[in-house]
Every structure is written in C-alpha cells, then in structure tokens.
Structure 1
Amino acid sequence: MNWNKLNDQIDIENFMELFGGFHDSCLKELYMWNENSVDENFSMSMSIHLDTCVRVLFQRQAPEHSAIELLFKGITQFHIIPRAEGQDSIIYGSKLMFKEGLFYWAEDEEWQIDQPFLRPRSWISAKELFWRDVSSWMGQEQRYGVLEEKDSQ
C-alpha cells in the first residue's frame, strides 16, 4: 500500500472524484504523533519544527475505494468535533483545498477558510497531504490500536 502525495489543486480534484467527495462516508479512526518525547532518564526532547502528523481512516458506502487513509504531515490546525448525542456521524460531502502552501480538509462542503468556526465542523490543515487506498480495512476492526479491556477502565 503505497502513499500517493497530493501536490496541487488538480491532484485534489482527481482524488475527490476517486473517493466520491467523501459522500456517505465516516471518519472511522485517527492516530496523531509528533517527535516530542521523554526518555528513560526523564530528559525531554522537543522539536521546533511542524512535526505533528495525523493518519485518518475513512470508510464509505461504495464498492470502489471503499476505505482510504489520509496522512497529514506538518499539521498547523487540528479540530475534531464529534457529533452530538442522537446525531449520526455520516459525512455527506467534504471540502479539500490547497491555499497558500497548506492543505485543508473539512467535513463540510460549505466550510470557509476565512470563517473556520462559523459552522462547527471537523477540519485539519497541514503542509503535506498523502492518501492511500485501504479498501480491505472495512468493518469495525480497529487499525491503529486496540485498548485492552483492563486498559480502558
């Protein structure tokens, strides 16, 4: 499963067509990491670079490219807003754009970069964006790690 890099608006348009604009999809899970750490001697190591990355797994109701994974590198903004109790989490369409050196993904086609919080929806911006088809990753199985029952208490 090789990663495909998005470079410009043409790549974005091709990707959005391939994945149906995220119509009838859901954000299944995500995983975030950076280069910060504390070693065994409790020394802290911090990066001064945009080193935060996020992998996001989306699944959709379609036979072709039914699951994809996005990899955001160099995260500048990360806003995930779960749906309220009693609301479904279906993504009916999303926005993906490249502006002033950043990629933006938002779960709402009407989302505006100049008014990002006008409609409270999940959105991410990053310096780099990659994708790959993971259509074999359908269903409820967790792909980024499972908490043991004793860990979740």
Structure 2
Amino acid sequence: MWNEIANEKDLGNFMNMIYGFHDSCLKELKYISGAYVNEKLSMFPVNKQRILSMIIQRQFENLSVIEMQFIGLKYLNLFPNDENYTCEILDATMIFKEDCIYWCDCGGLSLKEIESYTGTTICASKVRWRVVNEYIGPNEIYVTI
C-alpha cells in the first residue's frame, strides 16, 4: 500500500518514523519517462510520466526496506561515491517548497543549500512510499528481462 507525503505533517511523520534515513543506503533507482518508440518505429517523444522509483535499505528490523516514488520528476542529480568511500546515508533532508518536494542524502540542509549541494538530490511534484521488507538483501529489484 502506497503512502502519500502530501503535506508537512506527513513529511514530519515519515522522517520521524525512519529516523531521517539514518543508517540507510540507496540500493537502486529506476526511471520511467513515458516516452517510447512503438513496433512501427513511430515515436511518442513526451516525458508524460517522469517517475523515479528508489529502493532504500535500512539497518533496522522495522521498516528495513522502503520504496519511494518521485512522481513528476523535475530533476535528479546523482553523485554516487566511488568504491574508495562508503555510501551509507547518516541523515537526509526532505523539504516542501511551493509545488515541489526535495530530497537529498545529507541532513540538516536548507532549500538554498540543497540547490547547490554536490551530493544526490531529487526534486519532484509528489512523493509516495511503501514498506517492502521482502526486498532486503543484494538481489536486484528493478530487473529487466
């Protein structure tokens, strides 16, 4: 069951429930634009969906795995650490501003700081989340056939 983050109260409850993403890691991302080329090679070149799905795994027994969907994606700045550094999330920031919600992998940032942050940041129109504890472990979730 999906849970919407529609206002500041929802956001505060979510961040408290998952301890601000403490001891988490970004495991996977999947993006669906909505554009495609059909079997007759005609193109539908419109980013109609713009949905970014994200799997977050956590070192907690309760809510071990969270899937989030950023709907109406405005941007994703992905700056993964290389193999010489760890990539655990110690704290994250989520902020509403006007018709957008922002997420970044560093806690305690203001909106101005998020916009210039050099780590991973996401901006979208809407966010929803669900618990998917069955996704714990190394197996890929967003597998293509």
Is 1:145 the counterpart of 2:143? The answer is yes
In the TM superposition, 1:35-114 aligns within 5 A as 35-47=34-46, 49=48, 51-114=49-112
Higher gyration radius (CA)? 1
Q: Any idea what the Cα deviations from partners look like across 1:22-43, whole Å, max 9, x if unmatched?
A: 0010001011011101112211
Q: Give the superposition deviation at 1:48.
A: 6.2
Matching residue's letter, 2:12: E
TM-score (norm 2): 0.92
TM-score (norm 1): 0.88
Q: Any idea what the Cα deviations from partners look like across 1:54-79, whole Å, max 9, x if unmatched?
A: 11000011111111000011001111
The alignment yields a C-alpha RMSD, in angstroms, of 1.6
Unaligned runs of 5+ in 1: 148-153
Question: Identity across aligned pairs (percent)?
Answer: 30
Within the candidate set 120, 123, 144, 2:121 is matched to 123
How many matched pairs?
Answer: 145
Structure with bigger helix share is 2
Unaligned runs of 5+ in 2: none
Query: Which runs of at least 4 in structure 1 moved beyond 4 Å after TM superposition?
Result: none
Is 1:31 the counterpart of 2:45? The answer is no
Larger deviation, residues 62-71 vs 76-85: 76-85
